[in-house]
Structure 1
Amino acid sequence: MELSDHESAILREIQQDSSLSLSDLSARTGIAQSTLWRKLNEMEAAGIIRARVALLDPAKVGAKLCVLAQISLMDHSEACVTGFTQLVRRLPEVLECHSVSGQADYMLKVRCRDVEAYEAFMSHHLLRSGFVRAVQSSFVLKEIKATTALPLG
C-alpha cells in the first residue's frame, strides 16, 4: 500500500509516542485534528496500525536476559511445524519467532530473568516438546539498537 506524505508523517510520530493527544499530534504533523482523526481511523481499519502499546524496560520488569535461539525441528511434517508454532505462541518468554533459511528452521527472540531461568525455559518447554531436535543459543551481551519503528519513505 502506498502511503501519502500525511499518513507517513502520522505514522512516524505515533511510532515514537502513541500516547500523543490528537492536539499534540496535529501540532507535530501540521494536519487538522478532524483530518488526523479520520486518517488514524482509516489506517486502523486497514490494519496498517495493528495496535497501540506501551514499551517496557526489560531489566525493570524482570526480563533482563535476551537470548537469540536457533531452533532445528525433529522433522518438517505438518504436525511438527503446527505443533511447534502452537507451542511458541503460548510461551510468553518468546517475543519473536521467525522461520529462517540456513542451518536452523526458526529463530526465536527470548526474554528471561537470567541464565538459570532460560535454561529451565529451554529444558522444560523447547527440548521436551517433541518438536525440537536442537537449540543453539546466543546470549545478547549488549543491545546496540532496538526499535519498533518501521522505516517509512
Structure 2
Amino acid sequence: MELTDQERALLREIQRDSTLPVAELAQRAGMAQSTAWRRLQDFEARGIIRGRVTLLDAAKVDAGFCIFANITLADHSEDSVTAFESLVQRHAEIMECHKLTGGADYVLKIRTRDVVEYENFMTHNLLRYPFVRGVSSSVSLKELKSTTELPL
C-alpha cells in the first residue's frame, strides 16, 4: 500500500501513543484534524489499524520470565497443524507464535512468572500432546529492545 509522508507520520504517532487526541495526532503529522480523523477511520475500516492497546510492564504483573521455545511437530498433517495452532490460541502465556524455516517448525515467545511456572506449562500443555515431537527452550536473560512500532 502506498502511503503519503503525512499518513506515515500519522501512523507512527498513533503507534507511539494511541491515547493522543486526534487534534494532537493531526498536528504532529502535519495535517488538518478532519483529514487525520478520516484517515484513521479509513485505516481502521481497511484493517491497517487492527486495534488500540495498553502495554503493561511484564515484570510488574508477574510475567517477567520470558522464554523462546522452538517447537518440532511429530508430523505436518493437517490435523497436527490445526491442533497445534488451536493449542497456541488457547494459552495466554504464549505471546507470539511464528512458523519457521530450518530445524524447528515454530518458535513461541512465552511469558510466565518464573521457571517453575514455565516447567508446569511446558509439561502439562506443550509436551502432553502427541503432535508435539519436541521443545527446545531458551531463557531470555535480558531484554535489550522491545517495541510494537512497525518501521514506516
TM-score by length of 1: 0.97
Q: How much has 1:27 moved relative to structure 2?
A: 2.1
Matching of residue 146 in structure 1 with residue 146 in structure 2: yes
Q: Trace 1:131-142 onto structure 2 (pairs within 5 A).
A: 131-142=131-142
Of stretches 24-33 and 3-12 in structure 1, the one that deviates more from structure 2 is 24-33
Moved over 4 A (4+): none
2:60 paired residue number: 60
Give the match's secondary structure for 2:70: strand
Of stretches 1-10 and 111-120 in structure 1, the one that deviates more from structure 2 is 1-10
Distance in 1 (alpha carbons) for counterparts of 2:95 and 2:131: 19
Distance in 2 (alpha carbons) for counterparts of 1:23 and 1:35: 10
Give the match's secondary structure for 1:134: strand
Distance in 2 (alpha carbons) for counterparts of 1:151 and 1:58: 23
Distance in 2 (alpha carbons) for counterparts of 1:146 and 1:23: 28
Q: How much has 1:70 moved relative to structure 2?
A: 0.1
Matching of residue 96 in structure 1 with residue 106 in structure 2: no
Q: Is the 2:7–2:29 Cα contact (8 Å) retained in structure 1?
A: no
Give the match's secondary structure for 1:137: strand
Distance in 1 (alpha carbons) for counterparts of 2:123 and 2:131: 13
Q: Kindly provide the CA deviation profile for residues 62-84 of structure 1, in whole angstroms up to 9, marking residues without a partner as x.
A: 10000000000111111001000
Give the match's secondary structure for 1:101: coil
Q: Is the 2:66–2:110 Cα contact (8 Å) retained in structure 1?
A: yes
2:122 paired residue number: 122
Q: Trace 1:1-150 onto structure 2 (pairs within 5 A).
A: 1-150=1-150
Q: How much has 1:94 moved relative to structure 2?
A: 0.4
Give the match's secondary structure for 1:86: helix
Q: How much has 1:6 moved relative to structure 2?
A: 1.5
**What percentage of residue pairs aligned between the two structures are identical?**
59
Q: How much has 1:25 moved relative to structure 2?
A: 1.1
Give the match's secondary structure for 2:31: coil
Q: How much has 1:131 moved relative to structure 2?
A: 1.6
Distance in 2 (alpha carbons) for counterparts of 1:106 and 1:19: 34
TM-score by length of 2: 0.98
Q: Number of residues paired by the alignment?
A: 152
- Kindly report the root-mean-square deviation, in angstroms, between the aligned alpha carbons of the 2 structures: 0.7
Q: How much has 1:130 moved relative to structure 2?
A: 1.9
**Runs of at least 5 residues in structure 1 that lack an aligned partner in the other structure:** none
Give the match's secondary structure for 1:121: helix
